[in-house]
Amino acid sequence: MLNNRLISMQCLSRRAGGPRSVVKAAEACCGINSQDFLESLSSFWARVDRFTDLDFLAEFRPKGGLARAWTVRSTMHTFPAKDYYVHVFGSGKKRILSRYESWAKRLGMPPRAVRTGSLYQPLLDQMKGKQVTSSYVKQYMEERVASLGLKSRMKLGRGWSSQATYGPTWMPWGLIEMSLLGLLVSSGRKGSEGLWMRTSDWLNSGRKVPEMEDCITGLLRRYIQQYGPVSRSDIAYWNNGLYADELDGSLDALRKDLAEHHFEGEKEPFYSFEDGLDHPEPPHVIVLPEFDSLMMGYRDRSRFLSQDKLGHVSRPQGIISRTILVDGFVAATWGKKREGRKTLVSVLPFRDLGSRERRSIEEEFDEYGLFLKTPITVEFRGKAARARR
């Protein structure tokens, strides 16, 4: 039942359709994880009926239905623009920004108030009404920092070399800090470069900025609604920027509306909003890209992933693998590479796959190939790749 509800609430049992379907999918996931801009489109493909890039681009534009910025876990998410402040200011702003203050001090940068007035605001004034590239932001920041007589690089030490080495400029941290402050949004890509735009130019004007406590409570409400039942540990993992008192205060504010569940073998309670709906069985096969929001949503993934296979999905350096769900449970990971005009997909099963399961996986990748506009050849690898007869 938990598995059925989760898959259904994530628009993976019935794909979103009709007007603004991509906005519905982003809302269902409490933001589509967007570590890689192009890869994140595959998460929309898995959740939107007959999805094309044009469906996304129709909403991902100034004054449109989608926004993209750093939010929970200090990662990029694409989420409904109407909920912009809830996502950005509800993602642990105090704790995350305190880290940036420490890094700025190590890099020889002035306090945030000075950075905002002397570095960020002049850049925003230049950007008014237009998109700029990451290179533009980098060049501007380096020139501006130099003109203010500030350090632009952090001395790391000599190490094995006879000369001192220097760390990165403030540019990447400044870019993220501006997003977390609600000043800047990602607006897509131009070739290999990211594009950026002022938040005030991207959103519809006249938006009232809510209190941060209300944003945290609002974001937790959306998360519990879509991912519940969830434990406090799940919530803390998903939104790891929150201080303990911020998380507990928001839970207390929601408690009168929450249903509390106690599952056998679990030490802590789980929370959900009762929806009273019957959720359908999941599709036979679901193909998900790397860093998909489903995989990023829980500390405990046992409702769709065997504990002994966790290391195959959550890999070192925070990498979350591409996955294949069979009847609602992760049955394989997969990778892809281009070979001329074709794409080769390598499937690494966790168990022996029957011939019907293999055919279903191949058929799903045929559909995926239509979305990518490239023929896909599927190769099953490893000891568990053989089909049962």
How does pLDDT run across 47-100, given as a tens digit for each residue?
999 999 999 999 999 999 999 999 998 889 999 999 999 999 999 888 888 988
Taking residues 331-354, what's their average pLDDT?
93
Distance CA 276, CA 259 (A): 12
Q: Looking at the domain covering 97-202, what would its CATH class be?
A: mainly alpha
pLDDT score for 339: 86
> What are 27-37's pLDDT values in tens digits?
999 999 987 88
- The CATH architecture that domain 305-388 belongs to is 2-Layer Sandwich (3.30)
Strand partners, 314: 320
pLDDT score for 157: 46
pLDDT score for 61: 96
pLDDT score for 142: 82
pLDDT score for 161: 44
pLDDT score for 81: 96
Residue 335 has pLDDT above 90, yes or no: yes
pLDDT score for 153: 52
Q: pLDDT band at residue 380, thresholds of 50, 70 and 90?
A: very high
Residue 4 has pLDDT above 80, yes or no: yes
pLDDT score for 105: 83
Q: Where are the beta strands (DSSP E) in the chain?
A: 32-33, 66-70, 76-80, 132-133, 155-157, 165-166, 184-190, 193-198, 230-231, 259-261, 270-272, 285-288, 314-315, 319-320, 322-326, 329-339, 342-349, 353-354, 376-380, 387-388
> What are 255-313's pLDDT values in tens digits?
999 999 998 888 899 999 987 778 889 999 999 999 999 999 998 888 898 888 888 89
Q: pLDDT band at residue 164, thresholds of 50, 70 and 90?
A: very low
Distance CA 387, CA 389 (A): 6
Q: pLDDT band at residue 10, thresholds of 50, 70 and 90?
A: very high
Closest to 180 (Cα-Cα) out of 23, 66, 73, 293: 73
Which residues lie below 8 Å from residue 232, measured CB to CB, with a gap of 6+?
A: 247, 251, 268, 269, 271
Q: Where are the domains of the chain?
A: 2-90+207-272, 97-202, 305-388
